[in-house]
Structure 1
């Protein structure tokens, strides 16, 4: 049934009680029946602000169950149907609009010439959730506090994470968060229990980089490390990319992550904290490359222990090889695999790495129909994008950016390796496409000889990534070729790629040389 309010004061709390001489407790009304039997009314406090669903909790009880037959419940002058529920009387559901309403519990006296007894309460219905309007959140630095500001209507405080912040008389709030999250939820709950929220991405703009790749073994070699330190001193680079976990599944330092300790995956190639302090002291940033799902150490250990769901399998149920080796790819859909990589990322960020740059953040290349990913409940593309989002949420509060290295072809045919670039870009701070000229076939992007035309192929392919990531908040920082294959690559070819990338809208870059030798890169002082 629908009961119209007798008082129209939407959104306000009105306290007005007209009652008999009987006492009213904080949570119930005791109405003295003329026969000496006390009725207890529960469910609505005097002056309460409640939701309409809470009115349906109205109940009347009595030590003399028979006396309930003479009780009448009236809301806004309309008798509300009731029903017996054992020794209680409950009201049938009613539909009340937001605003003030009057409740009357009335007892007809069974003794002639004696008046009946009634008790009245005024309460307010509020089914309107608070409205939260938070401003866009921009983080200037991931290692400094970030401020979340906005307005809220209908509540006196907001909850952000596990912290509660007050709302002033104008409805404004300002919250300073010590750690910078990837996402933030601003939630407000009003006096009636209605809840409203707004979810926000915390935008953090990557500062850019001029970087070279260094494996853990290369950094341990003075002959390879010293030329890179010279590039730093000459201000030809401003970032060093140092491997955390590489394609072999080995970790470059003595990781304390429990799974790494169990696998024996850690090494002593470098002291992570000491190296980071050294490089930061030289004025450069440090990017940690974390090879995610190509991990022979974890895959083989899992398979031999019987935990086969941690490994990508072929149609016969054997470990997927695809030319990468017998135990190459771990299963990106498996919670233990995902947790291991996130824990390594969190540890690295806590040690001081400025970025976590995932590599092999994909399924194996090859026919999807021949692969099995135990536990996969979504598309491979969605699962990998979700992993990146989870990882950024865990890493961001430790002060590190998150990037993803992707195939150069992924801007156009990412499904070949489960790299949906727009979906991934929404979950990371930058996309790092591997656009090496030597990896393109003749005619790609209309370039007749990609390896011989490094400027043209890099400009065209990077422009594609810039276009598909537009408005995602993610930067494009390409991997460029600093090695020779069919053609010899030196300063001219490297500079041609940098120019092409810059013209396409990506001014930052990472140089790749598997041997970590950059003597022939021809980098200019920045």
Structure 2
């Protein structure tokens, strides 16, 4: 009996872009075994490399199969039991792939067609600044990713809303997080987001290196800790004399003789941490007569702020007092000390004298300065931040009270500095304000009023970047007016009334009245 000729039965099947799902057969002829199949063309927009995943098969052999793409001949190459198109990335838009079988005994067979859309543009991704997250808490990443079907970060995934908005949880201490937005075609957009730890706050007193070395001054402070009156001790790393309280291993510190060895840093930190104390290391940055004198005498004049006449600036602070904040070696020296202290175990690095000298800026020369002094100071904090954070410490900056309204006077732009610190510590000592400041007739005699009003101003400035805490320095010493427990408590209450439940008490003599600090 003569064999009947086969009749063409061409079909097309569309499967996932990865070609791992079973082909969905869409019959165009007789419902029987298909004579050819195009697989690897999904029904949604695809990336420009879609043809890398396309396979053309036929149960009757591959000989004679031809293809066109948008009407132009498309080369095919053998790939096992299939043919694969040879084409590079495609332009965006709609394309038509046509596979034609060879003519059969009854004439030309119907071609197989697959239309698809190419999308090679990543989705838009915009992320809002992330609020700092407290230890043990969970934060939130918020943003918008129009066109994305999924946004992910740190193993967490979500599908954006109709307007592209999304939220993702983020853990405390995550550091820098990569957020990925993926669209239906598989295009991705990424962004790096900094997730800062929110400072836990503090109730602290200042101790100099020599005070820590003295049992007479150290033990009463430890008693304040044990009685629950404070939870933090601020211990000097490098003070305004330029001397370092312990034996630093930073080469320049050793070279210029800055070390005093007044205390053993590791032993002091171990003792304080065993008591459950948070330890803030105060690092006086640019008021540094030790580095200033050593630099000048060794011919490194540019490390020192100068007068227009070419001599070292003193301005009433003493010879070689202010080092040049714009000089890379001066900046590197202070950052090296900060990094060393953070590695030793200081919980915070709190910079002081992070400014230019007060006085007529036109009478000063800052060799190498290419920006404004305010920008340079903020830039230093930006340089230091990563070095401090990578060792798990917080970074703070002590600032003048007048910086809120007169940033150029000492080169402390609070909003700019706040971008690069975990907290600002304004020195709002009542004795340092003139009559009439913030509408307060006699600030030193009105500690509550001047503290509340000045700190409210700092709160607004620090909040401009949405992530910086304000922790004020408060006055625990007497100058023109006798300051006892009532005056200290008035300042603490003023801070609390504007939403600040933290403070650092300053007394250069390092003596503190327990009655000013009720147990918490």
Q: TM-score range by the shorter chain?
A: 0.7 to 0.9
Give the Cα–Cα distance (whole angstroms) in 2 for the partners of residues 258 and 175 of structure 1.
43
Once the two structures are TM-superposed, the CA of residue 434 in structure 1 deviates from its matched residue by: 0.6
Q: Kindly provide the CA deviation profile for residues 167-192 of structure 1, in whole angstroms up to 9, marking residues without a partner as x.
A: 979799999999753x55557899x9
Alignment TM-score, normalising by the size of structure 2: 0.73
In the alignment, the residues of structure 1 paired with residue 350 and residue 420 of structure 2 have an alpha-carbon distance, to the nearest angstrom, of 13
Partner of 1:466: 459
Q: What is aligned with 2:101? A: none
Report the counterpart of residue 412 of structure 1 in structure 2: 405
CA contact (8 A) 2:427 2:472 kept: yes
Deviates more, 1:329-338 or 1:122-131: 122-131
Deviation at 1:397, TM superposition (A): 2.3
Q: For residue 469 of structure 1, give the secondary structure of its aligned residue in structure 2.
A: helix
CA contact (8 A) 1:129 1:194 kept: yes
CA deviation map 1:252-299 (0-9, x unaligned): 111112222222222211111211111111111101101111111112
Higher relative contact order (CA 8 A, sep 6+): 1
1:475 aligns with 2:510: no
Aligned to 1:11: 46
Q: Helix, strand or coil: the match of 1:241?
A: strand
CA distance in 2, matches of 1:254, 1:201: 34
1:310 aligns to what? 303
Structure 1 residue ranges without an equivalent (≥5): 1-7, 22-30, 32-44, 51-95, 103-121
Show the counterpart of 1:46. Answer: 86
**Where does residue 345 of structure 1 map in the other structure?**
338
Paired residue for 2:163?
none
2:417 match: 424
1:150 Cα deviation from its structure 2 partner: 8.9
What displacement does 1:133 show? 6.1
Aligned-partner Cα distance in 2 for 1:496–1:154: 54
Residues 95-144 of structure 1: CA distance to partner in whole angstroms, max 9, x if unpaired? x5456599xxxxxxxxxxxxxxxxxxx99976523544668656656799
**Who is 1:399 aligned against?**
392
CA distance in 1, matches of 2:515, 2:307: 41
SS at match of 2:193: strand
* TM-score of the pair, normalised by structure 1: 0.72
Q: Is the 8 A contact 2:229 2:514 kept in 1?
A: no
SS in 1 for 2:201: coil
**Structure 1 residues 36-435: aligned runs within 5 Å:** 46-49=86-89, 96-97=91-92, 127-132=120-125, 137=130, 140=133, 180-181=174-175, 184=177, 186=179, 196-435=189-428
The root-mean-square deviation of aligned C-alpha atoms, in Å, is 4.1
What runs of 5+ residues in structure 2 fail to find an aligned partner?
1-42, 57-61, 65-74, 76-84, 98-114, 161-165
For the structure 1 residues 371 and 48, does the alpha-carbon distance in structure 2 shift closer, same or farther, using more than 3 Å as the test?
Answer: same
Q: CA deviation at 1:448?
A: 1.4
Name the CA shift for 1:178/1:482 in 2 (closer, same or farther; >3 Å).
Answer: closer
Name the SS of the counterpart of 1:356 in structure 2.
strand
| Residues 444/262 of structure 1: CA separation in 2 closer, same or farther (3 Å cut) | same
| 1:373 shift after superposition | 1.5
Quote how far apart the aligned CAs of 1:435 are. 0.8
SS for the counterpart of 1:398 is coil
Shift of 1:49: 3.7
State the shift of 1:14 in Å: 2.9
